[in-house]
């Protein structure tokens, strides 16, 4: 395994752990677990958000199991994390726009932290990984992972 592959695999392993942990916390928050620290991590407690994070974490984790080309799954995880980063940013903007258009009293105290969620900051880390390994992100490479 090349050094670049090794770094990519460790990056994928760290993100797999992070996505799986935050996905589990989101699901637990969605089913009613009210941890006092979850708010500090911007966990909003959405079951569907948690399931999305768990799927992305599983894609990253499968890279450790794959023997033919283990770098494909971290690259696919980077792509998924970045795609959902864009989706979450659009949702955050839509929520703010909705507050502004319909004149809610919540607009005055709104900060960017109100729209923050684990998918955003994990997605930023994924996008940074995409910048580092941008030469390896190709449709041909990703199609081997079943994309």
Q: What is the pLDDT of residues 19-75, one digit of tens each?
A: 999 999 888 888 877 766 666 677 777 889 889 999 999 998 887 776 667 678 888
Dump pLDDT digits (tens) for 67-111: 667 678 888 899 999 999 999 999 888 888 877 787 666 666 667
**pLDDT of 28:** 86
**pLDDT of 117:** 85
* Of 13-17, 38-42, 140-144, the least confident: 140-144
Sequence-ordered list of residues with C-beta below 8 angstroms from that of 110, at least 6 positions apart, any chain: 96, 99
**pLDDT of 58:** 93
Closest CA relative to residue 117, chosen from 36, 60, 61, 46: 46
Q: Where are the beta strands (DSSP E) in 24-90?
A: none
pLDDT reading at 145 higher than 60: no
Q: Determine the 3-state secondary structure of 63 from DSSP.
A: helix
Quickly tell me which residue has 């980063």 as its tokens.
85
**pLDDT of 147:** 52
**pLDDT of 71:** 77
Dihedral sign, CA of 111, 93, 105, 49?
negative
């Amino acid at each position: 395994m090349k050094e670049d592959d090794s770094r990519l695999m460790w990056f994928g392993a760290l993100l797999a752990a992070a996505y799986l942990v935050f996905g589990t916390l989101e699901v637990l928050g969605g089913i009613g677990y009210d941890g006092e620290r979850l708010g500090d991590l911007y966990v909003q407690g959405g079951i569907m958000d948690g399931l999305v994070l768990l799927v992305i974490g599983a894609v990253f984790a499968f890279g450790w199991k794959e023997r033919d080309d283990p770098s494909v799954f971290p690259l696919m995880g980077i792509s998924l994390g970045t795609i959902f980063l864009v989706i979450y940013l659009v949702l955050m903007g839509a929520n703010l726009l909705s507050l502004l258009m319909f004149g809610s009293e919540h607009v005055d105290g709104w900060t960017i932290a109100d729209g923050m969620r684990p998918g955003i900051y994990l997605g930023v880390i994924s996008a940074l990984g995409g910048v580092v390994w941008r030469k390896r992100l190709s449709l041909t490479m990703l199609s081997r992972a079943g994309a």
